[in-house]
A and B are shown apart, each in its own frame.
Chain A
Amino acid sequence: MVKLEAIIQPSRFESVKDALREIGVEGMTVTEVRGHGRQKGHTEVYRGREYTVDLLPKIKLEMVLPDNLVNRVVDTILKSAKTGKIGDGKIFLSRVDEAIRIRNEERGENAL
């Protein structure tokens, strides 16, 4: 099993969600986050007040996937989240040792 974390542009969230639904991935945790990588922020002035937008709004998706689905999901996110501009985000993958469904104590991929 693999845990996938994707940081994407908020404007791409709907497309990513729809694309994942099409390949049968419905369950995910979505968090509104702020951050930046190479895409630095900028400063905006409004009525004499400076707003430094150094942490840009992003959406973080988290999901744990069975091994056989990982590549497909990654491809789907890449296709649907990409605008080609700086700030499109990143995908992180990490191994998961075990998953346990609390309700019935099912383990492994069955618990996903």
Chain B
Amino acid sequence: MRESPTPLSVLGPQAEAERQKIRQQFEAGTSARETLLALCDLADHHVRQIFDEVLRVQDREPEGLCLLALGGYGRRMLFPYSDLDILFLFGSERTEQEFRPLISEFSRTLWDLGFRVSSAGRTLEECKRIEEDNAEFHLALLDRRFLAGDSTLFEKLDEKVLPGSEKQARPFLLAQLHKLTRDRLTRYGNTIFHLEPNVKDSPGGMRDYQAIIWLRQLSEEKKGIRNITAAEEELCASAVDFLSATRCFLHYSNGRNDNTLTYELQEAAAARALGIGDGVARTAADWMRQYFRQARTLNRHLLRYLEQKAPVPLTLRQRLFSAARVSKYDAGDSKYFHIRDGLLEVTDLSALSDRTVTYSLFAEAAGTGTPLSREAERSIGYVLIHPELPPKNTEMCWEKLREILGSDYPGLALRPMQRLGLLTEILPEFGLIDSLVVRDFYHRYTVDEHTLRTIEHLQELADPPDERGAHFIQLWKTVDRRDLLILALLLHDVGKGMPVGNHVTGSLAALDSAAKRLRLSPEEKAEIRSLIEHHLEMSATVQRRDIFDPATVAGFAESVTNLERLQRLCLLTYADIHAVNPEALTPWKAEMLWQLFVATSNYFSRTLDRDRLHAHDEVSLLGRIKACAGDGASNEEIERFLDGFPRRYLAAHSPQEIAAHFSLYRKLSEEPVQTQVTPTQHGFALTLLTPDRPVLFATISGVLAGWGMNINKADAFANAAGIILDTFYFTDLHRTLELNPSEIARFRKCLEDVLNGKSALEPLLKGRVIRGRTPKVTVPTHINFDDSSSAHCTLLEIVTQDHPGLLYEMGSALARQGCNIEVALIDTEGHKAIDVFYLTAQGKKLTPQKQELLREVLQGTLG
């Protein structure tokens, strides 16, 4: 053996000097791509030099041995402190034995030069076999690159051995890659959002990119029919450049292969505008915004590949079955899309240039809870970015957006709409919070992600994943005008992206512009405004006030003003806390929030008659009603009509509705009973105005029951002049009114005749069997009297099993006992009727004896 002419004492400092030079160039602004290539070339040079040296020293020829670079090194993406993945490929087991001393000398020398070698050795024969417990090795082999040694041996491997074995093992490798990737993503909570992300392993990190490359290779994606557009490819490349620069920076800053983007290093990266290249220092929050945008790009690409058809190889039996089985289609009402395998797919791609079709697709997803297939999303994306397909009907009207926002699963539409840029097209204000970082140890997600998560947490209430949501299920199910709640959520934090001191001020300004563009009614805008304005109030009350103190509850209720808003605010608060970070909504906080909701809700229903309208003070309301009511209406007349109604009347009806009521009121002089029947989303609404008289409420309920109508909700108010205004929301069980519109007039006539004493109620009721089928769910009856909540009335709260005719039965029982209903609130939750009556007898509260008697009578009636 001969001595080495180039001692380590010379090579070592040379390699180190080269490394330092590359580092300095990187720090001076050389791109990450060039830096990685330079590091790779440096490693290649030394690997080849040392390999030649040890061959020469040991007087050997490389026949039967070659060196391959694998993984990132094979792809020429070598980070400063990454290992050199090297495969020693042997022609046979004999050559492996012979070369062993040489390899150990080679590895030791490289180590001494400062290269961390991670090596593996295989014979050509071994490379034909798939090691089922070492999929990582086979995946790394996909990036193989010849380094040194016997090139004929490499050609054999590259051209003869591996193509065959890789083809055979493709389903296995794909399945393994899916599993390894899913496991990794799960390890990091399936989210790119971490306070200190790992730029290699976290979702959205460099491993996502590596997995994309392998998935493409294994699925044999051809260049011409790539599953990615040129624009997406460009975005992906720019994300890789950004993340590569970040990873290089982390390696250099930590002096080792540590890829954690710590708080301190985020500051340092932002100060040098790392990966952005304009040299303008940024705040850490601004720079992290860039980071999350790039991570999101990579992660979305990866998920798209992962969500393609399962790569698991089918057995013959499975293949036979799937060939024999007809695909399950659900055509629905649309000819443009259908549901297949639980996903919405587009059947007519050309229709997508009509934005009405696209929005209908999103509305379908939101309404049915069926997600869009990746392919459908891609098709929409394709149409959106191709100017040769000019879009039609691009304006999203509030009616359509309402349909999406008010559905059971709005998040299923809003999430893909955000990915496709449609959300910011409809709501440009949302763009202000795109990837916006709130940099503290509490807010884990960017503001846009937080916002979308709030909505997803609400839709999860259909089937909450844990106990925290249990109380709020019914609230989500029954809340009125969900669309307003969801729009408020979409806008509630938009102000964080504005240069304003208080983000709520900014969010309200955003609402102004959005409301104008979407043409929201003043009432809709006012409701959303109130939700945004108060969006922190409920959580602040829960955490900083004694919620068991009646004064706290009264103060909070005064600020919220009505039950409907309370429901929306409670859901908003629940979602807002929940979406801050996975642990923010503790069961303790959820319970406190619920307790405050219950206390405030009870406060509203028990203090209904405390707050009566003094119409003279409601200047703006009078103006709006006057405008809606048209000519001839004087302020005095409107005041006379409104005076004395409980304030809740305003919350339950819009000014247009109030104006319509007022029109009916003006006709009372001609006809003492005024009625109006209008169709609603779930049935019909009956509005009735008439001077008060005994047994009125029971009679109206009786007529409705006689016609086979089931009352779901009702409110009964009276003004100071003794005019009652009752609204009944009912379902038409036998579809009488729906199928025979002319029957509406007959129904109204019948009701008016009974109330005017022209015909009797009893014959109507005789024709009906009031009790329906045996209910599936039994609701026990609760009867509760409360003398303390109202100054003038006794409150009767009844919760009982709902059935057609129930309200007539209760109303009659109350009338028989000489009770006058001052206010009534009727509600239904599934099979449960929840009714509150404010009662007087001869103008006074009910005596304890009367209460007891009434309890017995009601208990007997309701069972």
Please report A residues at the B interface, Cβ cutoff 8 Å.
Answer: 9-11, 13-14, 32-34, 42, 44-48, 51, 53, 56-57, 83
Contacts and interface: CB of A to CB of B under 8 A. Distances in A.
Nearest to B829: A47
Contact of B784 (A11, A45, A53, A83): A45
B721 interface: no
A46 B588 contact: no
B799 A10 contact: no
Interface of B: 543-548, 586, 588-589, 591-592, 595, 598-599, 601-602, 779-780, 782, 784, 797, 799, 829, 832, 834
A46 B475 CA distance: 12
A62 B517 CA distance: 53
A43 B797 CA distance: 16
A44 B546 contact: no
A48 B827 CA distance: 12
A42 B553 CA distance: 15
Contacts of A57: 588, 591-592
Contacts of A46: 598, 601-602
Given A10-B592, A57-B588, A47 B832 contact: yes
15 contacts: A10-B592, A11-B545, A11-B547, A13-B543, A32-B588, A44-B595, A44-B599, A44-B602, A46-B602, A47-B799, A47-B832, A48-B832, A51-B595, A53-B548, A53-B595
Contacts of B780: 48
Contacts of A51: 595, 598
Contacts of B829: 47
A42 B589 CA distance: 18
Contacts of B601: 46
B602 A45 contact: yes
Contact of B586 (A13, A32, A44, A45): A32
Contacts of A14: 543-544
Contacts of B799: 47-48
A11 B591 contact: no
A11 B546 contact: yes
B546 A9 contact: yes
A74 B72 CA distance: 60
Contacts of B591: 57
A77 to B, nearest CB: 17
Nearest to B589: A32
Contact of A45 (B545, B592, B782, B832): B782
A68 B586 CA distance: 36
Nearest to A51: B598
A34 B546 contact: no
Contacts of B797: 45
B588 A34 contact: yes
Nearest to A42: B548
Contacts of B782: 45, 48
Main secondary structure of the interface of A (DSSP, over half): strand
Given A34-B588, A45-B782, A47-B832, A10 B602 contact: no
A33 B592 CA distance: 12
A34 B782 CA distance: 29
A11 B808 CA distance: 46
A45 B797 CA distance: 10
A56 B547 CA distance: 11
A51 B548 CA distance: 13
Contacts, number: 50
Nearest to A49: B799
A42 B147 CA distance: 78
Nearest to B542: A10
A47 B588 contact: no
A42 B784 CA distance: 17
A47 B834 contact: yes
A14 B540 CA distance: 11
Contacts of B602: 44-46
Given A10-B546, A33-B588, A47-B832, 6 more contacts: A10-B592, A11-B543, A11-B547, A46-B602, A48-B782, A57-B591
A51 B562 CA distance: 22
Contacts of A45: 602, 782, 784, 797
Contacts of A42: 548
A13 B546 CA distance: 11
* Residue of A32, A33, A83 with most chain B CB atoms under a 10 A cut-off: A32
B101 to A, nearest CB: 46
Nearest to A9: B546
Nearest to A33: B588
* Residue of B545, B588, B780 with most chain A CB atoms under a 10 A cut-off: B588
Nearest to B587: A32
Given A46-B598, A56-B548, A10 B543 contact: yes
Given A10-B543, A11-B546, A14-B544, A44 B598 contact: yes
Nearest to B547: A11
Contacts of B834: 47-48
A34 B595 CA distance: 14
A16 to B, nearest CB: 12
A47 B826 CA distance: 11
A83 B552 CA distance: 14
Nearest to B598: A46
Contacts of A32: 586, 588-589
Contacts of B595: 44, 51, 53
Nearest to A45: B784
Contacts of A34: 588
A14 B592 CA distance: 16
* Residue of B548, B589, B595, B784 with most chain A CB atoms under a 10 A cut-off: B548
Contacts of A83: 546
A47 B830 CA distance: 12
Contacts of A11: 543-547
A95 B599 CA distance: 42
A10 B592 CA distance: 10
A57 B545 CA distance: 12
A53 B592 CA distance: 10
Rank and list the top 4 A-B pairs by shortest CB-CB distance, nearest first.
A48-B799, A32-B588, A46-B598, A11-B546
A10 B780 CA distance: 36
B480 to A, nearest CB: 16
Nearest to B786: A45
A34 B587 CA distance: 11
B689 to A, nearest CB: 29
A36 B4 CA distance: 82
Contacts of A10: 543-544, 546, 592
Nearest to A55: B591
B241 to A, nearest CB: 38
A51 B471 CA distance: 11
Contacts of B548: 42, 53, 56
A89 to B, nearest CB: 12
Contacts of A44: 595, 598-599, 602
A64 to B, nearest CB: 23
B472 to A, nearest CB: 12
A42 B780 CA distance: 22
A32 B588 CA distance: 7
B457 to A, nearest CB: 20
